[in-house]
Chains A and B, each alone.
Chain A
Amino acid sequence: MPSEPQDDVNLTKEAPEPESTVAVRRPHSQRAETVFRSLATAAGAIIVASIALIALFLLIRAIPSLRADEANFFTSTEFATTDANNLRFGIKDLFMVTVLSSVFALVIAVPIGVGIALFLTHYAPKAVAKPAAMLVDLLAAVPSIVFGLWGFLVLAPQLGPVQTFLNDNLGWFPLFADGNVSISGGGTIFVAGVVLAVMILPIITSVSREVFNLTPVTHIEAAQALGATKWEVVRMTVLPYGRSGVIAGSMLGLGRALGETIAVLVVLRTAAQAGQWSLFDGGYTFASKIASAASEFSSPLPTGAYIAAGFVLFALTFVVNALARLAAGGKVNQ
């Protein structure tokens, strides 16, 4: 680790420089030092402050609308903000759609992401691993509106038969029961979840890859010395060692999926009634609901309803990302 405390040149206020006979430091450069240090510290402080400001300003704008809310904010499935005198909004349905689509995305993306990470770190030959890793990272470079486009115009029609099949054969299971939109029309949480899974794959892969790469060679060699096959080596050393990293990566992926806006807005179809925890529901997530109403943010009270939803989303992603950091022992760096 570079830049450990360098006390010899550290001009802190608490420890004034001793009257030195060697170093010739003019007061001018000392002032410059102070200015530069303050600028750097201020930049760091601005970042800290911005998080606090986000929470503060969202709350300030949300509270009047929450006061005026005639329905229960947490348990109502309505979101009627057209009549400013009779605001009725709740986040229950938004929460359901957000969580269901994100968790479904996670269920698809985590096994595949971990598989890719294992393939890249312990199976693929070195010459292949690097370009292959770059290919996976390219997925992160594709803008989310393009994924939305693809999901809406290309993927949804293709997934139609799959959804019908699941619904026909596993319809007794709540997740695959009939939803509040027609399955053949695409635009269900199922499709949105698949699109989200593609979008969060790179982050899960890259975080997992990083920890798998760090597996101590001695562990691997010990397993090999016992005659383990490659799979047994992976199962006994790499996977247990990388567990916290995989969890952290998945949480980061979950955070992304919860907040993804435009792809979901484009893909997911609106539904006339609230969902029933089926993958074949339609509706809005927090993010897509806010984006869908963005052009009508003119009067403060209805807008505040959306800002309140935004605050919940902010809190949700804050918690998820903080947990990801905890899981990785404070070493998430992606």
Chain B
Amino acid sequence: MKHIMTLERREGPVDPMPKAPRPQEEGGGPRRPDTGSPDKDSLMKRMRKVDPKQAERYRQRTGE
């Protein structure tokens, strides 16, 4: 009878607290949407284009 010797599989040392991959390391997968607050300075300008009445109310409420 032939004995086949197999080498014991050894694991190398691992980082106990691995860091999350940075966006450029993630590959071409979907990205997290940018949920940061929008540019507030242009809020009045954008609001005036989309809803002039809302822009007017904003101006009244802020006392501008």
Tell me, yes or no, whether A binds B: no
Interface on B for A, CB 8 Å cutoff?
Answer: none
